[in-house]
Amino acid sequence: MGGCNFKTDIRLPPCISKSAFQQHYVIGKGGFGKVWKLEHKYSGELFAMKEMSKARVLAKKSVQSVMSERQLLAVLHHSFIVNMHYAFQDRGNLYLVMDLMPGGDLRYHLGKVKKFSEEQTSEHYSEFFLACVLTGLEYLHGNGVLHRDIKPENLVLDGRGYVRITDMGIARVLQAENAKDTSGTPGYMAPEVMFKQNHGLEVDFFAIGVIAFEFMTGKRPYTGKTRKDIRDQVMARQAQLQEGDLPEGWSIDAMDFINRLILRKSSARLGSRGTEEVKSHPWFAHFPWEKLSLKALPSPFVPGEGGDHFDIRLNLSNDPWKDAHSPAMQEATFVLRRPETQHLFHGYYYDGSISTQPG
């Protein structure tokens, strides 16, 4: 694997650096900074770049998270996940250069229509989207990796309408003892994570069930303004769809698929025996998995032409974070001056053009 020593990472040349790219505009925002659309000045290739403030990473005590994501992305490469091409840093920021997904994320599209139109919420649409996610998860799980934050914001579309999984920030290699790993998004978080229990691959299947529920009904099975609200609902009842809840165009098999994925007890959940169990559910009885894996299957939903599918409101503010002047941020900015603090990010550099990537 290619790399640089730490001093070279800070003094950018001869390693690849921000100067090798032409930044176009902001296409997203994460917990640590912005996501840019950019172009490689020499090859003309288009990419997405996560720009992450080191001070914000320090203030949120997330050094391990960003370093773990970089390490995982260096060994993961698949056509149904968003892949890393370059990683580098300067004194203030970390940069991840990734595949550009011009179709936007599923949250963007759900937000535009609240729930997909009657035609788009047909089993054909939802089946295709979720099959893409399952294919990506099959690869991750096969490599012993739990994503742990499957949600519409982390499912992005390419120009042909194929969905890929992104954001490995809280992904982890599967371990027997992981009860302390409680990060995630409450509305999509499996009960065993929420209640600080050891958890396995089933957590990602629970999240797929929540998304399928949302596709069908326009809402999640457990809702609330806070993590406590959602936790209380999970404790109080087992959410399940009934035949009377089925919109036109949805089948009993689809209902059963969702109900079995959102079971609170992980050992009873569809997927407890692996991805193949989910793919073998009657809802997918006639799905052409091989064609999908070869990307030879036309997507039922292709993002419209005329530009990228991102929220233009992201471009209206130069610094949309309310914590910019918080005591934690001020302290983190100060300690970044120390060499030992900068050393926390040692080894971040990656150049995929000179590195051997797994197939």
Q: Which domain holds residue 341?
A: 6-102+308-351
| Burial classification of residue 240, based on how many CB atoms lie within 10 Å of its CB (0-12 exposed, 13-18 middle, 19 or more buried) | middle
What CA–CA distance (Å, rounded) separates 172 from 249? 37
Banded pLDDT at 206 (limits 50, 70, 90): very high
Mean pLDDT over 179-195 rounds to 88
pLDDT value at residue 255: 96
CA 30 to chain centre: 11
Are 126 and 204 members of one domain? yes
Are 164 and 263 members of one domain? yes
- CA distances 163 to 187, 211, 230, 295, Å, are 21, 13, 28, 11
What CA–CA distance (Å, rounded) separates 219 from 236? 18
- CA distances 236 to 11, 63, 69, 239, Å, are 56, 36, 35, 9
Q: Is 199 helix (H, G, I), strand (E, B) or coil?
A: coil
The answer to whether the Cα torsion of 217, 103, 293, 275 is positive or negative is negative
Rounded (5°) CA angle 148-149-155: 130
pLDDT of 328 > 50? The answer is: yes
Q: Is 46 helix (H, G, I), strand (E, B) or coil?
A: strand
pLDDT of 6 > 60? The answer is: no
- Write the pLDDT tens digit of every residue in 139-185: 999 999 999 999 999 999 999 999 999 999 999 999 888 888 777 89
**Percent of residues, the chain, with pLDDT higher than 70:** 86
Are 267 and 344 members of one domain? no
pLDDT value at residue 176: 85
Active site residues: 149
Are 213 and 66 members of one domain? no
357 falls within a domain: no
CATH code, domain with 32: 3.30.200.20
Are 68 and 169 members of one domain? no
pLDDT value at residue 249: 82
Boundary (domain end) residue, out of 293, 317, 340: 293
Boundary (domain end) residue, out of 245, 265, 293: 293
356 falls within a domain: no
- Write the pLDDT tens digit of every residue in 101-112: 999 898 887 776
Are 282 and 196 members of one domain? yes
pLDDT value at residue 177: 87
pLDDT value at residue 16: 87
pTM comes to: 0.88
Q: Which residues contact 52 (CB under 8 A, 6 or more apart)?
A: 30, 32, 33, 66, 93, 94, 95, 96
Cα first-last separation, the chain: 15
Are 34 and 166 members of one domain? no
299 falls within a domain: no
Alpha helices in the chain (DSSP H): 6-10, 54-59, 63-75, 106-113, 123-142, 191-194, 202-217, 227-236, 252-261, 275-279, 289-293, 327-335, 339-342
Banded pLDDT at 311 (limits 50, 70, 90): low
Boundary (domain end) residue, out of 293, 317, 338: 293
Average pLDDT for the chain:
87
359 falls within a domain: no
Are 96 and 119 members of one domain? no
- Write the pLDDT tens digit of every residue in 330-353: 899 999 999 999 999 999 999 998
Are 57 and 74 members of one domain? yes
191 falls within a domain: yes
Range scoring the smallest mean pLDDT among 52-66, 216-230, 338-352: 216-230
> What is the domain count for the chain?
2
29 falls within a domain: yes
CB-based burial, 272-285: b 16+ in 10 Å, e otherwise: beebeebbebebbe
Are 112 and 98 members of one domain? no
131 falls within a domain: yes
CATH code, domain with 145: 1.10.510.10
- Write the pLDDT tens digit of every residue in 255-285: 999 999 999 999 999 999 999 999 999 999 9
210 falls within a domain: yes
**Single-letter amino acid, residue 101:** M
pLDDT value at residue 224: 87
What CA–CA distance (Å, rounded) separates 120 from 123? 8
Are 277 and 147 members of one domain? yes
DSSP code, position 105: B
Q: How many CA atoms lie within 13 A of 268 on its CB side?
A: 8
Are 117 and 260 members of one domain? yes
